Amino acid sequence: MKGPMPLKQTNTLSCYHCGESCPTTDILEDDKYFCCEGCKMVYGLLHAHGLEQYYQLNSSAGTSQRKKHDTVHDHLDNPEVVNQLIDFQDQKYTVVRFQIPQIHCSSCLWLLENLHRFEGGIVSSRVNFLKKEAKIRFEAPATLKKVVMLLDSIGYSPNLAKVNKDEPGKTTNKSLLYKLGLSGFIFGNIMLFSFPEYLGLENMSDRLFRQVFSYLNLVLILPVIFYCAKDYLTSAINGLKSRHPNIDVPIALGILALFGRSAYEITTGIGSGYLDSLAGLIFFLLIGKWFQEKTYQRISFDRDYRSYFPMAITVVEDDHTRSVALEKLRPGDQMLIRHGEIVPTDGVLTSNHAQLDYSFVTGESDPVHLQQGDKVYAGGRQTGGAIHVVTDKKVDQSYLTSLWNDDVFRKSNPQGLPSKLANKVATYFTTVILLVAICTLIYWYPINPAIAFQSFTAVLIIACPCAVALSIPFTFGNVMRILGTNHFYLKNTTVIETLSEIDWLVFDKTGTITLNGDQKISYQGIKLSDEEESWVRSLVDQSNHPVSNQISHYYTNVSTEPVTSFESTTGVGLRASVKGHSIEIRKSQKVDTESFQPDRGTVLMIDNEEKGYYVLRHKFRDNLNKVIGILKQNYRLSLLTGDHASEKPALEEIFGTESHLLFRQSPRDKLNYIKSMQEKGHKVMMIGDGLNDAGALKQSNLGLVITDEVNNFVPACDAIMQAGKFNKLPQFLTFMHQSVKLIYVSYAIAFLYNIIGISFAVQGLLSPVIAAILMPLSSITIVLFGIGSSSWLAHRLELTSYKML
């Protein structure tokens, strides 16, 4: 679709929004023509938000205003400024993330995710509603300056200041604090001015005194309603306009009912109204909102910045390498990125060339070819041999988290039962409460109008599904925090719900149930010269596969040479050219019988001549027997491995004859096995190391990667566990499964609260102020129950709940 066009005359058949020609049968609204429902919807949202300045800026009349508007953003033409703001850029795409404080409702979400309707070149935009953050991917003719100007013109000016990623917990919603302070100040003063009413003053002068203060209260309440309560009113209006009433509709109706009744009583002189109750209502609603926001910020802080992925990166220092945790990586460090590894932070390529797959960032799978000195962006996966990259910034852990949760890697799993229940509650709750409130008003009005309005408002305020809505994010958020503290990292809360439906566990062998670095390795065949050993080590150093690492350790004291024409075939082996010689390491093609027989292991070829083979004797992880024994009690188990069957007797003793043990399985075989189990109705969890089983991890209902502090992160996985915590795998699974049950208990508490609260409200026994106090208290109760009960459950399962400083 074209970018924004100048305004058209209303008597022409051109789309008011985009300028395209309209058939005579197309859509007409407000005397304006639109070429499609999308353009009409965008116009409707802009109109509803009072953002028609977008059309003014893009009209011929707005040319001078637009030029002035352009000048404000001239600094965004500076390449150095652009480089500081963007997350990624190649020859085709640019990716940027913006903090947009104005995001507050579902209409904002829809509008910002349809930016491609405004500006040619914008490919996609995704919004993180809770963080008020938008991720935008664009190409020419769009530029960063044009994107920022577009956001400005539709009322969503981005915060271009870089957020301090090391101290995210200190970010504060200042607007909420201003509203909270103002409403509290006015609440206190209205109570002060209401003393004549409280004291029951009745003589003429006292009544005049009381009436003056009543009008003062009426003036004071206006900023409370139209500023402090603006978010509730706006959200309710937008919900009604979109024909999807939200939970703010009852609250907004209660506020307006109290104000309308109070204004009527004061102006007619029949009473003083309920402005003290109204001010208190809004004040306590804002306190509850502040508490919820602060609690979620705390959980988000732990999730994004303290629960680092169990990933490490190899750093080169004085021709020696060492493993460094991501959070300790600093600008100027030289990273060694092997084949298949993810680049964790931005830097500059110091190797001659590189081939990076940025599908993790852009969704495009074509490798990007880089030369020495080129910029390398975080999120790229090296598809060639090992490369060296010098970092120019610290690792942005929240960026890696956002990439992990990108739409490209989402599985099409259906929602779990808790989320389904929450969605049903949100859908029907508002309608039911409105009916109850109206019935209460009709019943009480003939008897006592004062009680009628108070009861009507109390029902609307106290009956809030916030407690149900908060149950999942706070309980599961705490579960994710606790698991992260124990080095078990979840992609999102949906993983917990998915796990509750799993009935079959499938294990990979090498690197999953075996220890990396502790295998015994030997070489058998023609003796290699020192130069040939150097060639072999040069090849295996390009890969992070456990077998490659073992062969590299076998030649620890051997020097390396530059490698060219590197190739890696998943499930087969490695090939490259070293000093003009073809070096290949691959799996033996000899077919085993199912009985135990010696195998030639990993074959070495030099210049297409077989020189010999490496034999590895794996060592199983500690407590493997115990872990598998516990898991067999609750799940069906399978083992899929590309290795030979020489260890079948030992594995049968561990897994039992009732488990499926399959050998010489290619990556495609593993994926097909998972698919066949799913076709039979099973919910499958794949547990692997993320190297030769990426396809199976993606196909499974839930994929878990076990990592030995190496950079083998797989975007398609749903969880990552540090290998040292393997013995706690049964506790982790039990913890997540039991956490789902805690959600149902939370729902029961919330529904019980609503039933009791509404029963008092409809009888006229509950004032709106008390209802406003009880409503956030119910939310606080659910939050404390979710966090407290999940922390208690973790303690009972001997999981660490908090990090030791």
How would you write 199-229 as a 3-class SS string? HCCCCHHHHHHHHHHHHHHHHHHHHHHHHHC
Using DSSP bridges, classify how beta strands 636-640 and 504-508 pair: parallel, antiparallel or unpaired: parallel
Mean pLDDT by 10 residues, the chain (805 residues): 39 57 51 60 57 49 44 74 80 85 69 80 81 85 87 79 46 77 90 72 61 87 91 76 65 79 82 78 78 59 44 79 79 87 86 82 74 86 87 71 58 56 60 83 85 78 64 80 85 83 90 74 87 90 80 84 84 86 80 44 87 82 90 92 80 89 86 92 89 79 80 70 89 92 85 82 75 68 85 89 48
- Cα separation, 587 vs 572, in Å, equals 6
Phi and psi, residue 584, nearest 5°: -140, 135
Residues 6+ apart with CB under 8 A from 393: 331, 345, 346, 347
State the helix-helix crossing angle for 648-655 and 624-631, rounded to 10 degrees: 50
* pTM for the model: 0.64
pLDDT at 598: 45
Asked if 542 contacts 386 with a C-beta cutoff of 8 angstroms, the reply is: yes
pLDDT at 71: 57
pLDDT at 358: 78
Asked if 46 contacts 153 with a C-beta cutoff of 8 angstroms, the reply is: no
CA distances for 310 relative to 153, 489, 681, 710, 721, angstroms: 42, 8, 33, 8, 7
Nearest by Cα to 276 from 340, 212, 236, 220 = 220
pLDDT at 635: 92
CA distances for 113 relative to 109, 137, 142, 151, angstroms: 6, 11, 16, 12
Nearest by Cα to 666 from 545, 570, 544 = 570
Type of residue found at 233: L
- Cα separation, 157 vs 148, in Å, equals 7
pLDDT at 711: 53
Identify the DSSP state of 351: S
- Cα separation, 28 vs 232, in Å, equals 31
Residue with tokens 């799913």: 678
Query: In the structure encoding, which two tokens stand for residue 148, read together?
Result: 């920022």
1, burial (CB in 10 Å: exposed 0-12, middle 13-18, buried 19+)? middle
Please state the separation of Cα 130 from the chain's center in Å.
Answer: 9
pLDDT at 210: 73
- Cα separation, 247 vs 465, in Å, equals 7
Q: Is 613 in a helix, a strand, or coil? A: strand
Identify the DSSP state of 377: -
